Chains A and B, each alone.
Chain A
């Protein structure tokens, strides 16, 4: 029997369809499939770049964080389980952690940029329409919070601000900011549970 070119036949053999969802792409990546991993990147990188950019506020740094995150994801795909959340949520966690790490490193060398408006910007929850049940529940519990508590929590989440950063940005005492965030999270947890 003639020996056949494995890689060529493997390509012919492969039936990649657009219906592949993120979970399938994660499972295929976990088996070392680089084509699936490339598709995973293609489908999720714009959303994940937004996560990195919201924390780092610099395209070059955000791309560096995204790069670190996807190298980590390549080796961590086998750890994904459905109970950890939707694939995009799990991927966001990794990108967020890489972005926060890079942000902390950068903050040691540079002060925050002077664009206060960008540092305070958060999505308007009132305009959000989602079919994601868990996200909708979270939004429904965030909305009734006093504005200063809700905004402090969202600024922390979206921009990776510390208590001190928010204290400076909002010109409020550090203790006040800590109290807003602590009370806000506590009420939110009660609402969700």
Chain B
């Protein structure tokens, strides 16, 4: 039997999503949709169609223990020691990456000696797994921010990464600009940004809609951070 012809994928997908398939037939459909795009698309469409019905049910609050159990499973180490150890780990990994990059610059690129000395550099890493995201460097006059991507990070469609700086004398963060997931970006700083950059204590990167945050502040929680390191 040709399962992928006519309406068969849609019919099977409806039965699967409604829960009418059991045992071997359910497993067979799951295999088909893993292996064939036509079944996967049919399942996605059926889920989109039928599962809108779930919003018609009256809400039921789960017990507080349910969240506690979820939290323990996604984050098995207790919160405080984890943050401390992660921060320490991030710091260590950040420095290790930074040291490697500096060494590479010295060993591989003799022409680097001719470029102006940076005011400071920042290795921006992911808060949880210390994945190196970007290397930010600034010259002493804070005129130009150089941002180099260190890994090919994935972003959902219609989203961009935005770099923020927190200055020691300001409560709110200031946008540095939109940054790329590959290659290098140079951002010219205006007077206000230069003032913030000269007193920077922390840099962060958040995920924002195309064009950047519409509010002037991060609209999602920045998950990449880095401290300035003077050279």
Contacts and interface: CB of A to CB of B under 8 A. Distances in A.
Main secondary structure of the interface of A (DSSP, over half): helix
A157 to B, nearest CB: 5
Contacts of B229: 1
A77 B57 CA distance: 24
Nearest to A30: B156
A148 B58 CA distance: 23
B222 to A, nearest CB: 6
B61 interface: yes
A135 B55 contact: yes
A6 B230 CA distance: 17
Contacts of A116: none
Interface in B204-231: 204, 207, 215, 217-225, 227-230
A192 B10 CA distance: 13
Contact of A6 (B61, B90, B128, B223): B90
B73 interface: yes
Contact of A45 (B57, B61, B159, B204): B61
Interface of A: 1, 3-7, 9-10, 12-17, 19-20, 24, 27-28, 30-38, 41, 45-51, 53-55, 59, 62-63, 66-67, 70-71, 74, 78, 80-86, 88-90, 92-93, 95-96, 100, 104, 123, 125, 128, 130, 132, 134-135, 138, 153-154, 156-158, 160-163, 181, 185-186, 189, 192
Nearest to B204: A13
B100 interface: no
Contacts of B222: 10, 13-14
B189 interface: no
Nearest to A63: B66
A128 B56 contact: yes
B74 A34 contact: yes
A128 B229 CA distance: 59
A71 B73 contact: yes
B230 A7 contact: no
B129 interface: yes
Interface stretch (B43-51, B103-111, B190-198): B43-51
B94 to A, nearest CB: 9
A38 B202 CA distance: 25
Main secondary structure of the interface of B (DSSP, over half): mixed
A93 B172 CA distance: 39
B113 interface: no
Contacts of A71: 70, 73-74
Contacts of A13: 164, 166, 173, 202, 204, 222, 225
B8 interface: no
Contacts of B63: 59, 63
A55 B19 CA distance: 10
Nearest to B44: A84
Contacts of A128: 56
A138 B227 CA distance: 52
Interface in B35-88: 44, 47-63, 65-67, 69-71, 73-75, 83-84, 86-87
Contact of A135 (B18, B53, B60, B223): B53
B150 interface: no
Contacts of A37: 74
A67 B69 contact: yes
A1 B166 contact: no
Given A17-B219, A34-B75, A66-B62, A6 B225 contact: yes
A28 to B, nearest CB: 4
Contact of A89 (B7, B52, B221, B230): B52
Contacts of A46: 59-62
Contact of A36 (B60, B221, B225): B221
Given A32-B223, A33-B220, A71-B73, A49 B14 contact: no
Contacts of B17: 93
Contacts of A49: 59-62
